[in-house]
Amino acid sequence: MLAFAAFGDIVVTGPDGERRSPIRASVVAVEADGRWLLRHFHGSLPSAW
């Protein structure tokens, strides 16, 4: 089992320019049959975004 948290920025670019917002994520993955499978993913963006 592998568990980790990540913190960073999500960036969306379009015709109107660029929008940035902080993002937080937590992930739990397990190894099965020689590959890693996500068992839990939770991402969080500010509600005003």
Q: What is the pTM of this model?
A: 0.62
Give the range of the structural domain holding residue 9, as residue numbers without chain letter: 2-44
Structure tokens at 4: 């980790």
Would residue 49 count as lying in a domain? no
Would residue 24 count as lying in a domain? yes
Question: What are the pLDDT digits (tens) for 5-47?
Answer: 999 999 999 999 999 999 999 999 999 999 999 999 999 988 8
pLDDT score at 39: 97
Structure tokens at 5: 């948290």
Would residue 11 count as lying in a domain? yes
Q: What residues contact 37, with CB distance under 8 A and at least 6 apart?
A: 29, 30, 31
The count of structural domains within the chain is 1
> In the predicted model, is pLDDT for residue 49 greater than 70?
no
Would residue 7 count as lying in a domain? yes
Q: Which has more pLDDT, 49 or 10?
A: 10
State how far the Cα of 20 lies from the Cα of 45, in Å rounded to an integer.
Answer: 10
